[in-house]
Structure 1
Amino acid sequence: MRFIEVLYRFIVIFQHTSQTCRRVLKNRRKYSMKMSKRGKRRKQHSFVTGIFKIVLCLFLKSIKLLFSFPIYLLKAMRLLFSFLIHLLKLMWQLFSFVMRSLKSLCLFFSFLIHLPYRIVKRLPNNSSKPVLPTLAEIDEMDGYKFEEFMKCVYEDLGYSVYHTPFSGDQGADLILTSKGKTKIAVQVKRYSGKVSNSAVQEVVAAKGFYKCTEGIVVTNSYFTDSAKQLAEANFIDLVDRNELEKLINTIHN
């Protein structure tokens, strides 16, 4: 737009100059007959001077326009570049707004999806716990089932339990590992009578074989006095019928 305005001004100046030249020529023809020879020469001289001034003025204005055109072009380029920068900023702000909106929508839908799960999770669990067998039912078990039962009991208490082979167990039916990496050898005896000191001897041997730091003998019955003395001398824990009942009640609670 600036360039067109400059071009328009140049055309107006040129038209004005042309009209001035025509007027001068017309006046010269009108008064040429009345002037003397000297006056005629002076008039010719002034006419040539005027034409020279006009041409010089047009030349200078052309030079000025020629040198001002790159400046106007640079200004136009600067305006265009500034417009592009503002356009890019606007597009980036629009993109950021769209991304934030999508993120908010995703969070909202995620909340709606997980809301039922959270509500159900916070509801009290009314499902009954699995019923552990009573001592009378334990008395009806065989030796292997009693070992499996004690494995489940110690797992519920937080131990990592290894069930040794049925034959060649080297005196331990279960190997317990606590969270503190303590290893315990367990001998399980389902007896109808009292357990003798042979069970204590077996778990003492198993402690050394399995490199355990503690030993336990568990039974659904009771221990003889010699078994209790041997266990006390070798730091072996004894779990008789009464202690087993307490253990089951602990899991129930």
Structure 2
Amino acid sequence: MRDNIELQYKGFLNTANLWKNSEIYGLEQFQFEAKLFSIENHSSFKEIRLGKRVEEFMSHQLKNLDNIDVLAESIQIKNDKITIGELDFLLRNKLVYIHLEMIYKFYLYNPNLNGDVLSKWIGPNRKDSLIYKLQKLREKQLPLLYSKHCSDVLEAFTIKAQNFAQQVCYKAQLFLPFESNIKDISPLNQDCISGFYISFNKIEVFKSFSFYFPKKLNWLVEPYYEVDWIDFVEAKKIINNCMTEERSPMVWLKNSSDNLQKCFITFW
């Protein structure tokens, strides 16, 4: 694969916010210029977990924007010596102070789940869900700023918690069921739709396709041609192992017309 860091960073920037303005739970989306800034030192990006790598990209972006001052980032909040949470970023945008939480997720729409439309978006392995994260943000992560355990941290900036606006940068790639006719995913942003998902027991429809399995950090990346493609027989062996482990891999698909697609193959 070509330069992973550059492609991951570009993929991060090109991913749309999951909703617009403050349409969901009153959580206001942070708006920033999605300009590509050169990365001089690739070794400065050390995180191997995707969520933390995305925070590194956001940090890089914020520090290159003229209108933003990063006051602090990855601030550990402790009760005695026990870490009870973390504030992702404290910023100043001109005269406005902002507590910013950064989230990047991959969600699949399962129309068979109970509940409202937001409850039907889940992680590829069914261990994560949009509704759970939204509730955690509203009830735990954002209120942490106003806790007594956070007051000592804020004293260093001589700024009271009440002076901070709270915003989120919640980006996501969304995947609809294979051959779905779903046209409207409101209140979520249509621009987040990145591909589809299909159950393992239906993948014979792709037996004439070529496959590529990106590593998790490269889930951020838009599919392109110059990778090591494998045929369906080889791909199915890898997918079988994933199914045994109850993991739903992301794959890139290439058909005979060289059209590229991104999808998840689910064990469920």
Pairwise same-fold verdict (TM > 0.5): no
TM-score, normalised to structure 2, is 0.22
Question: Could you tell me the TM-score, scaled by structure 1's length?
Answer: 0.23
By percentage of residues, which structure has more helix?
A: 1
